Amino acid sequence: MERLTDRRILITGAGSGIARATTLRLLAEGARVVAADISAAALNETAELAGNDRLTVSTVDISSEDSVNSLVSEAAAELGGLDALINAAAILRGAHTHECSLELWNRVIGTNLTGTFLMTRAALPYLLESGRGVVVNFSSTAAFFAHPFMAAYSASKGGIFSFTHSIASEYGKRGLRAVNVVPGGISSGITDNIGHLVPEDTDWDLFLKLTPALPGGIPGPEKVAGVVAMLVSDDGSFITGTEIRVDGGAHQ
């Protein structure tokens, strides 16, 4: 199935996890893709896995205005415009909230929330020109349900949730769609390393309620990649200003 043959797509965080799996899915469905990440080495691994001449990779620091503006203008020039932006890049740094430093808080907010804003702001003129532009932002179940030791991460993802609704309303009459994808209990670059990202004395019993209800344990990132591919295709053309939660029923 090649639903995306004529689509021009920019995705961040593509060096690992869900964004890498999404990049591969977009290419499999025929899209032309610029995949960005802060790690050049990780992007090279993605490119090797893809083995596709419709993929261009580029490094970016989404917390840097200059880096973002350069990436978006170069991507639009490479692709001849933009039809979709997928903001998947994010970081997680956990801490007991009473021990959370301002530096940690600002780093998480600056990357996840401000980075999503900077990428979207820079891409909007191209997406509006497309006439069928789509912004897919990655919120998280952490924005809606208690995730202990993740105050900064949860706040950043809650901000993304609200930001997405705002732009969906503001630009809907101009043909732009904006949707939140909300993963939970999915194998990703963050979840695979969660033990190193939260305090050493973490009470893991507090995470039991985050377990997917469906059998089979924690699934791979391709479960989310398929949802994103649908959203940026014509199959998602009537979906905007809402969320799609992909968590195996962990939060029913």
The answer to whether 141 and 207 are in contact (CB under 8 A) is no
Please, which residues bridge with residue 34 across strands?
10, 56
The answer to whether residue 171 is catalytic is: no
Q: Pick the catalytic residue from 126, 144, 149, 153.
A: 153
Task: Give one DSSP letter per residue of 198-239, joined into a string.
Answer: S-TT--GGGGGGGS-SSSSSSPPTHHHHHHHHHHTSGGGTT-
Fill in the amino acid letter for 187: S
Q: Which residues pair with 156 in a beta bridge?
A: none
DSSP of 85-115, one letter per residue? EEE---------GGG--HHHHHHHHIIIIIH
CA within 13 Å, CB half, 116: 28
For the chain, where are the E strands, in sequence order?
8-12, 32-37, 55-59, 84-87, 134-138, 177-183, 242-246
Residues 16 and 6: their CA atoms lie apart, in Å, by 25
Please list the active-site residues.
153
